[in-house]
Structure formats: C-alpha cells, structure tokens
Structure 1
Amino acid sequence: MSIVAAAGYTQYADALVTPLFGDRLIARAYCEFVCGDITNTDYNGDLTKHGDQITYFIEPEVEVRDYQKNQRLTPQELESETVTMVIDRAKYYNVKLDRIDEKQIAFIDKWVDAFLERASYNVKLQIDPDVLMRMALQAAPFNKGMNAGKQSHSQQLGEYGNPIPVTAANVIEILTRLRIVLREACRWQDGQMFIVLPEAAESALMGSDLKAAYLTGMSQSPILNGKFPLQVMGFTLYFSNNVPCVLDTATNTNAYWIVAGNKKATGFAQQLEEHEIVSMEDSFGKYYRGLWVYGHKPFLRDALAVLYARF
C-alpha cells in the first residue's frame, strides 16, 4: 500500500506510480538429503537397461564341527539365500506453461530453471524418509527393541510405547548401545558406519561432553562454530529433517526412528530419470515434465540397527 497523502494533496499511486517486479526469484528453503550417502548405489548399472527387479545371492554360511581321528565326516548342504530388490517406486511432475505466458514473462528462463530445480528437490524430499523408514522396518529383529544385541540381548533401543529418552547426559551412552549391537552382529566396518539423527538431537549433543574441543580433537568447541566432528563413536553423523517421526500415543510424545548401520547394507538403484518438454495438443503451450523410477532394499538386515527415541 502506498504512503497516505496529506489532506489536499493528490495521490498519484493509482495513476502514475507503477509497481515494479524484480527478476530475482526468492529462493525457498532447502533441506539436505542423506539417501545417497548411506546406501549402496553400485546396483544402478545392473538395472539401467531393462528389468524391474534383480536378485542377488548372499554368501553361504559354512558350519565348522569338531573332529576326531578316523571319524566319518558329515557333509553339509549349503543353502542358497537370496535377496531381491524391486524397482517399485515412481514419481513425476507435470507443469503446464501457456505460450503467451512464456512470451510475456520477462524472466522466463529463470522461472523455468527455478521450478525444474524445485521439482528435483521435492522428489528427493519424498525419497529420503521412504528409504529411512524401510531401513527401520526391515532391520534385523535382534538389532532393535528393548533386548537388542545378537549375543547379549542387553541393549535397550526402544519400542513403540517406550521410546528411549535421549539427553545430553546419556547421548554418548546411547550411541554406544548402537555400536555394541552392530559389533555383536559382526557388521562393523571402520569408515563405513553411519547414523542419521533428527535436528532435535543437536541439543543433546551440544550439551554433552562433545562440546569440549579437547575431547573431539577439533580446534574449536562446537559451541563456538556450530560444527560437530564428522565422526562420533565410529559413526559418521548425518542430520536430517527427514528422519521418520511419529506420535507415540502411549507416551503422547513425538518419537523418531533413528537408523544406524553400514553403508553397504541397503541397495538403492535409480533406473530412470527423464525430463522432457512436450507441446500441448489442444492448446498453445508446453508441458514440462519429469519421471523418476527407482527402488531400494536392505540387503544386509543385520547391518542396520534402529533406535526408537524421543528428545
């Protein structure tokens, strides 16, 4: 609204003062994605040409028995365990732009580039929580719950109705529980382990001993620069707004399904990413559209551990 004119002075806003429209687009906020960093994408090449699924064999388990001199040996028949990844996800966008609008919009190139970039972003916004939730659901049963641990069954990682409270006082101990569970499953591999934390976890980490620079090996405390060490307890830390969050009705709190594990545990394959511009048949204009076809699957279920927690 224009500045109000004093009494007796002509208001020119409606006639002579014309509004301006800048050719700079105000960028929306963009979250970071973690799917590409915590999955194994080596399977992309196997599915780029054709097929809607691929099956892999898991290395067989070999029994070792005691031996006595001259005893008759018992042969073992190996079991062929397989796992199948299906290309069962597809996303698309389809934007209509009339020819007249395309001609009259002064900054049309920036406009088109902006909505194409946003389309790619919004697809990723749906992929990340989908992958994380499947990891949580399909992780090995002994790597989650209140009696986690393949050997000890002693680690409390939470369950629906009983989310583990994570605070500055216990966050390091909670990460240790996840480490124990994955080591008991013999799936620990230095340099390959990750954990995806919600942004809400930052308050616990900032209040923990990790705030001391001399404990993290960093030149400054995270309190000063807002940066955490890339690795804590052997886990590469990722923070994401896409960590699955549910309302735990039993406790009336928001609880998170936090996944930790080996980056090689889950396969991800994008079979098709296609963008095209198509002329309208019944009008003057174009369709800007894109299609993503992909699939993902936890191959090594015991290489994933799940913490059900609240902050």
Structure 2
Amino acid sequence: MAISTFVPQIWEARLLEHLDKALVYGNLVNRDYEGDIRNQGDTVKINQIGDITVNNYTKGSNITYESVDGTPTTLTIDQAKYFAFKVEDIDQVQANVNLVDGAMARASYALRDVVDKHIAAHYTDVTNTIGDDTTPESITSANKAYEALVDLRTALDEKNVQSTGRFVVVPPAFYAYMLKDSRFVAAGTSKTDSVLANGFIGQAAGFDIYQSNNVPNTEGTLYKVMAGTRQGISYAQQILSTEALRLEGTFSDAVRGQLVYGSVTVQPNALAVLTCNLR
C-alpha cells in the first residue's frame, strides 16, 4: 500500500470495524454519549433521574409536585493508547497478502484486549455480589455452573433489573462446564458449537452468555463473573488520528494511530458479580 492511497477515514472505519467485532465487554455497555467526546480529557455529565413517588389521590384535593433532580455522574475520557508499525517495501512486494491491512486488523485486536480489560475492571463498582474472595462460590460441575447463573438471575431480579437484554460474561473453564449441561446446550442453537467473533456462545437462565479470557480473576483462580444489562456501564471512544508516513533511513511505510476512551459505572444496581473458584 502506497502512502498516496492511504485515506485516513477509510482506515479508521476498518480499524473500528475490526475493534467492534472483537470486543466482548465493549459490546455489553451503552455508548449513548460517544458523539459528545473529541479528545483525551473530555468529560460528559450523565444525569441519573431518581425514582418518582406514586401518591394516593383524593377527589377535590390539591396534588403535590416533587422536584426532579438528576444525580450527575462524570464520564471522563482518561485513557489514551496508540499503535505504530512499519512495513518494508521488499516485504510488501513479496507478501501474498496486504501486510498493512493485516497489521491494522491485529492492531484492533490488540486494542480490544486493552479496552475489554479496562471495562471488566468495573466489577469493583458493583455491590450486588454473590460470594467474595474469602468465601467464593465453588464451581466444580455443570450443575453448579447452571445454578450459579440462576443465582445471578435472582440477584438481578431482586433489584428489579429489566429481564430483557441481560448478559453474563464467563471464562473458558466456566463455559466448559456449561457445555456438559443439557439445559444450556438444548436451549442454544448452532451458535453454541462455536464462539462467535464477539464471544457470544448461547443462552441460558435468561442470559445471553459470552466467553472471554479477560474475565478478571484474583489469586489466579477466583473469577469475577459479571452479569447485568447495558445500562450499567457507559463507554465512549474516539480515534483521534490514523496516518501514514514514509520513514527516513529505511525503505518503509509506517502507519500509526491513537485511540482515546473512557468508561464509568452509571447504574451499579443493573449489574451483579459472582466470585467463583473454578478449581
């Protein structure tokens, strides 16, 4: 690929396409405020409306109006990452595939891991929990894995979390137990036979189930399995620039790009976290 054919908007679109396909946690958040950010350091104020009281009405009496006031939460674009790579002319000529296009795809997958780990770390904001590092749930069979999902469902039900659009993200060892459970396999489709690009593996206990190697774990074995809805976490990202340049002192084209992003837990009650031991 010659620099003369490099169109930043096209390559940014390719980068985002690869990134969005690869994201697991990043596709399980709301991105309602993404259009409001432009640069690292930008902030967006998100107002959360409190509950509205329902009162008894008596004919002929005056009604009382309560003030509606939003509790502000700040989404800060405080993360900045970049990638940069070069392709020597001789490699470009001899390669059977477009090295730059392939490298851009790999860059997006590398960014995916960084972004997903960042979002997954929001499990620490959740107070709706099952088990902890001292007394984790022990998942040692398919039956216990399914029961753990039911417990997560109950935890969300008790917080009046909407039942539609619920997700749970599990590590591979948890998924292995699920594959041995007929309640999971029978409820799925051909999608349960292979993990799709975004990690979706099937449905059970009212959840869309996703698999990720980025499920946080402590002590190397205690996994933090997060469930909930997309209303729990807000996320926004922006590619600041992608550009091609000719490097001095070498016969190479280079490509570099910068991604800024941020996330915040806006509705912790819309999430639940299971701490489990899979050994």
Same fold flag (TM > 0.5): yes
Q: Contact 1:93–1:291 (CA<8 Å) still a contact in 2?
A: yes
- Verify: 1:293 aligned to 2:260, yes or no: yes
- What amino acid is aligned across from residue 43 of structure 1 in structure 2? Y
- Supply the distance in 1 between the matched residues of 2:163 and 2:64 (Cα, whole angstroms): 34
User: 1:71 Cα deviation (Å)?
Assistant: 9.5
Contact 1:33 1:240 in 2 (8 A): no
Quote the Cα distance in structure 1 between the aligned partners of 2:176 and 2:41.
46
Partner of 1:112: 100
Residue equivalent to 1:240: 212
How far is 1:74 from its partner?
A: 7.8
Is the alpha carbon distance of 1:273 and 1:159 closer, same or farther for their aligned partners in structure 2, counting shifts above 3 Å? same
- The residue aligned with 2:159 is 185
| Counterpart among 177, 184, 188 of residue 204 in structure 1 | 177
Aligned counterparts of 2:90 and 2:176: Cα–Cα separation in 1: 50
* 1:302 has 2:272 as partner: no
Q: Match of 2:173, as an amino acid?
A: A
Q: 1:112 to 1:69 in 2, by over 3 A?
A: closer
The AA in structure 2 aligned to 1:175 is L
| 1:230 to 1:296, Cα distance in 2 relative to 1, 3 A | same
Deviation at 1:277, TM superposition (A): 0.9
Query: How far off its partner does 1:123 sit?
Result: 0.8
CA distance in 2 between partners of 1:74 and 1:42 (Å): 33
Equivalent residue in structure 1 for 2:76, among 73, 86, 100: 86
Please report how far the alpha carbon of residue 165 of structure 1 lies from its aligned counterpart in structure 2 after TM superposition: 0.8
* Distance across 1 between alignment mates of 2:109 and 2:194: 25
Higher helix share: 2
RMSD of aligned Cα (Å): 3.2
SS in 1 for 2:94: coil
Map of 1:24 onto structure 2:
none
Per the TM alignment, residue 199 of structure 1 is displaced from its structure 2 partner at its CA by 0.7
**Structure 1 unpaired stretches of 5+:** 1-30, 145-156, 248-252
Question: Does 1:162 pair with 2:129?
Answer: no
Verify the 8 A CA contact 1:164 1:309 in the aligned structure 2: yes
Q: SS where residue 309 of structure 1 aligns?
A: strand
Q: Which residue of 1 aligns with 2:89?
A: 102
Contact 1:87–1:271 (CA<8 Å) still a contact in 2?
no
2:44 matches 1:54: yes
What letter is aligned with 1:238?
Y
More strand by proportion, 1 or 2?
A: 2
Percent of pairs identical after alignment?
Answer: 29
Paired AA for residue 178 in structure 1: L
Q: 1:72 to 1:184 in 2, by over 3 A?
A: same
Q: Deviations over 1:123-144 (max 9, x none)?
A: 111111210112x0112x2x11
Matched AA of 1:231: Q
- Which structure 2 residue ranges, 5 or more long, are not aligned? 1-20
Whether the 8 Å CA contact 1:133–1:257 is kept in 2: the answer is no
Q: Distance in 1 between matches of 2:63 and 2:104?
A: 66
Partner of 1:152: none
Distance 2:40 2:135 in 1: 45
TM-score normalized by structure 1? 0.70
The whole-number CA distance in structure 2 between the counterparts of 1:217 and 1:207 is 13
